[in-house]
Structure 1
């Protein structure tokens, strides 16, 4: 199924896309077409690195918006780091999965060391990607937060909560594909939710792309530089 949740309330069903996407560029173009009619003049596009950046590039190009990154980090369960129990975004506080913490018998304070380590890696990536530049000014303007997919939604939730604290005029989460349950769970967090494909049977984001290569820091920097050059040349 395919849904746009509008700031006027409720979901608007839209034409279902054909999956899998060819790659993140293809997915970004599909998303951009959904965003064009939404009246997002003056928006800033903030992509979650690494995979959200090529998606965000297509959106920013189509809308004539600036592109930047919003860096997030998963907070892993220490004995099994790939199991995310929370996430953190730059400028925001840690966001934990309370139900999962209870099942694991953990308290938030038990993860203080993990959070500190992830903050350090987050700060490193901010320096690498933004080279000392602050986040763009977002107060009073539309903000579009972009990723390449939603599985559990932990990092997206941390990202949009961090952005909400910065006072955007309108907060949009735009993702090419997401697990249906996760998509519905994120509905209260944003003003607009744009997800062209939300299948119920969802194992991993990569299953919905034919080309889902892992990206590097260098790839992220190249996309950001390309977007900046495009805006300079008009």
Structure 2
């Protein structure tokens, strides 16, 4: 089968999908050429267009070989056979993943300012590529959609190597390929025109599909829900963040991660998802830029981290529909010290703080100035940190509680430990944020309604 270009390929795929799926469908294009194909499908069947930013992990010095893929949300697919064949070390793999992470961040921050995330929960998601994507990249995109709540995942390809189609089918509920081929080279030859698709091209397609302005402040005039990457000015730095706000939120919680961690922390993302389901918005935030992450002095510069947390809090105050919502802080390890110090800043007016395995001792004299209700959560087997938190409990004069999770170590990796942390944080934030939430205009008797 011969395609004139990606536009032609998308229209032919749409004809197949039109008779196969209807209802609540979202079309997700792989960053690059996949979006060009997906755009035609979305327009034809009247579905929202979404982009997923995925990077293939290439073998160092052998770029023709790939050992996996990494998605925007941190979903990772590794081909252990290729790792063994190439004799890759953990250091080499980690370096490739770091480089891929930075590339993903650059693209996703740019694109999410134009197109906020489309909710996938309970919907049929059609993952589209143009035939050049690796199996690992498409599998990562499928798993990414599944993690975001997709009810049914379909892979739609105009052309692709047969081996790739077979491999991807294991991660999809349905797979459609109009023209299976013997190789990637044969797939590329199936197009008469197969030009490079840039970030600017993808952005333009997203604008057309959404039919709205590319103004980065669009969410200031748009009611939640939101689920998008954001860029936050903080002095001379631009911080990357992931803002997720459910419909009718009762408040927003900012996450301050511990040393060596980031907004991609699986533990904090788990807690954030629990809060989102309880009607609490979350901002997972990198308090250091990618260039600063390797500087250990900055990692432990609590004053710097707290200033940036204050800046992010001020930034939230400018987001229209959520600008008056009460704010909470969730800090982990050294990030808890930054959260407590920021909470002591009168500009933040924080309604509640939760510390997970925190280092309140690093807050210094500002600890006694915290007035926000504070919950200190520590693992029972984390003896050194537990002692520090017991000292903090005596030093603080606000409404403060210490809860010990029996048998848990510093990272709460034991079965059920992190779930307990999430439950404790959820209950603490829901109660405290609800108490300070302003009444909605449509509420009767001045009472607010909380949706769960």
Give the TM-score of the pair, scaled to structure 2. Answer: 0.45
Does structure 1 retain, via aligned residues, the 8 Å contact 2:37–2:129? Answer: yes
| Alignment pair present for 1:50 and 2:42 | no
Distance of aligned partners of 1:195 and 1:108 in 2 relative to their CA distance in 1, 3 Å threshold: farther
Looking at structure 1, the residues matched to 50 and 70 of structure 2 have their Cα atoms a distance apart, in angstroms, of: 17
Matched, 1:172 2:154: yes
Q: Does 1:130 align with 2:112?
A: yes
Aligned to 1:222: 204
Aligned equivalent of 2:58, options 76, 95, 119: 76
Superposition pairs for residues 1-234 of structure 1, below 5 Å?
19-108=1-90, 110-131=92-113, 134-150=116-132, 152-203=134-185, 205-229=187-211
Summarize the Cα distance change of 1:202–1:124 in structure 2 as closer, same or farther, 3 Å threshold: closer
Tell me the CA shift for residue 68 of structure 1.
Answer: 1.8
What RMSD in Å do the two structures reach over aligned CA positions?
1.8
Q: CA 1:219–1:132 in structure 2 vs 1: closer, same or farther (change >3 Å)?
A: closer
Larger radius of gyration: 2
**Contact 2:115–2:206 under 8 Å retained in 1:** no
SS at match of 1:38: coil
Give the gaps of 5 or more residues in structure 2. 213-452
> When the two structures are superposed, what TM-score results if normalisation uses the length of structure 1?
0.84
Q: CA offsets, 1:95-136, max 9 Å, x none?
A: 111111111112555411110111111011011112175421
Contact between 1:151 and 1:205, CA under 8 Å: does it hold in 2? Answer: no
Q: Is the 8 A contact 2:131 2:184 kept in 1?
A: no
1:158 positional shift: 1.2
**How far apart are the structure 2 equivalents of 1:94 and 1:185?**
16
Following the alignment from structure 2 to structure 1, what is the Cα–Cα distance between the partners of residues 196 and 115? 25
> Which residue is 1:15 aligned to?
none
Which structure has more relative contact order (CA 8 Å, sep 6+)? It is 1
Deviation at 1:147, TM superposition (A): 0.8
1:194/1:125 CA distance change after superposition, 3 Å:
same
Instruction: For 2:99 and 2:117, locate their aligned partners in 1 and report how far apart those are by CA, in whole Å.
Output: 22
- Distance, in Å, in 1 between the alignment partners of 2:79 and 2:53 is 19
The CA deviation at 1:82 is: 4.2
